[in-house]
């Protein structure tokens, strides 16, 4: 079993829909990251969470430390949101650089 699991693996939505991507992890963490990867391969950090909830524009990220679960929500989705969304955690006691990554959720938003 992977230490970081994301669901769904693939998601197709119509423009304007509310989208939720889930991430569950099985290790103790100091932080959780939500990342966005576009087709060219580059990765942009969207959020870094250690507790609670963060909002940036149409994106909302929440984390429940007790349940070891995080969600990324996109409101009023748009075709430009189409990308792979990756959840990554920094493990307590892990090597300083090492994030543990989920396999990603591929989102496609149709106009």
Partner 1 sequence: SAVISQKPSRDICQRGTSLTIQCQVDSQVTMMFWYRQQPGQSLTLIATANQGSEATYESGFVIDKFPISRPNLTFSTLTVSNMSPEDSSIYLCSVRGGWETQYFGPGTRLLVL
- Chain positions contacting partner 1, by CB under 8 A: 2, 4, 30-31, 33, 35, 40-45, 48, 50, 86, 88, 90, 95-99, 101-104
Our CB check for partner 1 shows the closer of 17 and 65 to be: 65
Neighbours of 6 (CB within 10 A): 21
Burial class (CB in 10 A: 0-12, 13-18, 19+), 16: exposed
17 or 27: CB nearest partner 1: 27
Given the complex with partner 1, which of 17 and 106 has the nearer CB atom? Answer: 106
CA 95 vs. chain centroid, Å, equals 22
């Amino acid at each position: 079993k992977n230490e970081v699991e994301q669901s769904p693996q693939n998601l197709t939505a119509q423009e304007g829909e509310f989208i939720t991507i889930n991430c569950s992890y099985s290790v103790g963490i100091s932080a959780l990251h939500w990342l966005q990867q576009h087709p060219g391969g580059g990765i942009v950090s969207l959020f870094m969470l250690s507790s609670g909830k963060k909002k940036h524009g149409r994106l909302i990220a929440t984390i429940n430390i007790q349940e070891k679960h995080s969600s990324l929500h996109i409101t009023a989705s748009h075709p430009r949101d189409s990308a792979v969304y990756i959840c990554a955690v920094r493990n307590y006691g892990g090597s300083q650089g090492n994030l543990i990554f989920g396999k990603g959720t591929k989102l496609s938003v149709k106009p």
